Structure 1
């Protein structure tokens, strides 16, 4: 009788008379190590040299008198010339069923499983650990580390499970889990972004003020991308109040408490940023005079107590935004005499050109301006290809994706108003872009535009339009089915 090890399925089987017999049982890592030594004709001493593990330690592992530590697992796997995560599924059993679970072994295993994308192992460990709620704070700490390292899928698993374990607790940790889950959930789908924002808002007030400020900032970004400007205004007002109160308390204190949680940005930044957002809200609601008043506030940094290079850089940045926005708001208010100065300003700032053209097109459609020469001058920026990460803070990825879809619709409106057939192409591009991010309001606008100018479309464009409408309908029906499954 000849024994063999199936590396793919992790079992020991045997051959009898040349016939492979079904596996005896799912086995332990130490059994597979013993089988490996037997098949290779190696002694414990020889494998000790090959793996770098003390021979006494190996002997105790093989006899079952010592559990396998994470660093032992890594060395054994490497010495057996197997993929690093080959024994990971078995290691979960090793930690919970063949020995007592210890955080010293499980923490590094969780982290490495996350790094290798073994979410199945992360899930198994978490499910087993949370049978004892004492592990919830430890799992939260690991989740925070994974979140900071950008391992968001694994972090999401941990946050969700910790949230379930604390669902009856009015704790800050539960609120932080929901905040992180909100951050992880934000993507290209506008409907899902709105749902994630609604879920998180219920927990916002439970957060520490530092996390509240950052949460308000990220929430505002989501609602900006959704064009829900009244909501953006409420969030900006709350951000300004919280930041101002905390900044004044900090100034009255001789020194910062060592255990005080820090915000992503300095406190004065949130005051200036809230004023910038409130200015943008006034602009979007057509109140340009109020928008200009807010600009004067966020361009003034004289009240800031700190005096260092970071303060100077931040104040200079807000002053630059204010200079650009003052010109922009005058353009949007219909002051055509300012248009050339605004165009000249953005021409020296490549990362501002797309937003600039977008607002110029908005104004052209509103006041019936001819801006053909401007569009021709900046043709290379249509479609927009600048690196999104280099953009100003308010113009994050979701905001730019939304504005790009709407820009295409605006430029379609401009061309069609001027009886130019290429506007049909931009309608289709806007519709496709809007469908990708599930921007329903802009999809409706595109459908309305196309139906008004259907006579300008050729057969190929009509067919493309029909396919896009069908795609949007299918996507909508799928979402209804998914939503009903939760009822």
Structure 2
């Protein structure tokens, strides 16, 4: 993309576009947009250095975060896209880059915090990548990480459940370890408009169905349906509807009534 076009772009707007592409799971678009964000920030950074070297005042280009944040975020989203496309080595390479962000010789306090934040994200995302790739030997280590960092629990358990069904792992002991936290997820999902909660309940339903706890699976898919509706994501709702149909015969009368009530709200 030409330099004059990059200079006219706003990093925060590109981040919004990137988040939309992630939400729609359009991974090729995520790769494309992440590259644009990276190039845009690089262009802004180079312009600032040039103006500084010439003793000129800095050009005005307001951003909500330090430029280093956008550099790291572009790499994180690119790594996620590679992960979802099954391009594991390329995902690992991206994680390695934002685990040790390099920008300039000296960093201010805000930039130092960005470096530490991405170091933490890289550790969490590296575990998720390896678990998705079938590295069962890392499960205990990952569980220990999640226990120490409860803010990662929803995403982490979702990753583990998805891998469990894919590779045939029984993870009941792990779910029991986080039973108290999981009990709060349903309550939290009523106050948090977060699609991480949707993915947790959707994959929990699939896991519970896989191990044969069908009534529990129905309960989870009902939570996922409600969240899909609240998020306004038709694609999520369609997935849930397919899952519900596979579980309909196992649903209790009370669960069926709740499902019908949800449908009325959606209509």
Question: TM-score, normalised on structure 2?
Answer: 0.87
Does the 8 Å contact 1:226/1:402 carry over to 2? no
Superposed counterparts of 1:36-435, under 5 Å: 208-209=8-9, 212-253=10-51, 254=53, 255=55, 257-382=57-182, 383-384=184-185, 401-420=194-213, 421-435=215-229
Deviates more, 1:334-343 or 1:302-311: 302-311
| Count of matched residue pairs | 256
Does the 8 Å contact 1:232/1:281 carry over to 2? yes
| Aligned residue among 240, 243, 260 for 1:466 | 260
Specify every segment of 5 or more residues in structure 2 that has no aligned partner in the other structure, as ranges: none
Does the 8 Å contact 1:268/1:304 carry over to 2? no
> How many Å apart are 1:258 and its aligned residue?
4.3
> How many Å apart are 1:335 and its aligned residue?
0.5
> How many Å apart are 1:326 and its aligned residue?
1.4
Rounded to whole Å, the distance in 1 between the matches of 2:137 and 2:121 is 20
Specify every segment of 5 or more residues in structure 1 that has no aligned partner in the other structure, as ranges: 1-204, 388-396, 475-487
Distance 1:256 1:224, change over 3 A: farther
Task: State the SS of the aligned residue for 1:422.
Answer: helix
Rounded to whole Å, the distance in 1 between the matches of 2:216 and 2:148 is 29
- Corresponding residue of 1:447: 241
> How many Å apart are 1:207 and its aligned residue?
8.3
Rounded to whole Å, the distance in 2 between the matches of 1:206 and 1:280 is 24
Structure 1 runs (4+) deviating above 6 angstroms are none
> How many Å apart are 1:206 and its aligned residue?
9.8
Higher relative contact order (CA 8 A, sep 6+): 2
Does the 8 Å contact 1:225/1:403 carry over to 2? no
Coordinate RMSD, CA, aligned: 2.3
Rounded to whole Å, the distance in 2 between the matches of 1:206 and 1:281 is 22
Cα deviations across residues 253-288 of structure 1 (Å, max 9, x unaligned)? 325634522322222221121111101111122222
Question: TM-score, normalised on structure 1?
Answer: 0.49
Larger radius of gyration between Structure 1 and Structure 2: 1
Cα deviations across residues 282-320 of structure 1 (Å, max 9, x unaligned)? 112222221111011112233424333332222122112
Q: Which has the higher helix share?
A: 2
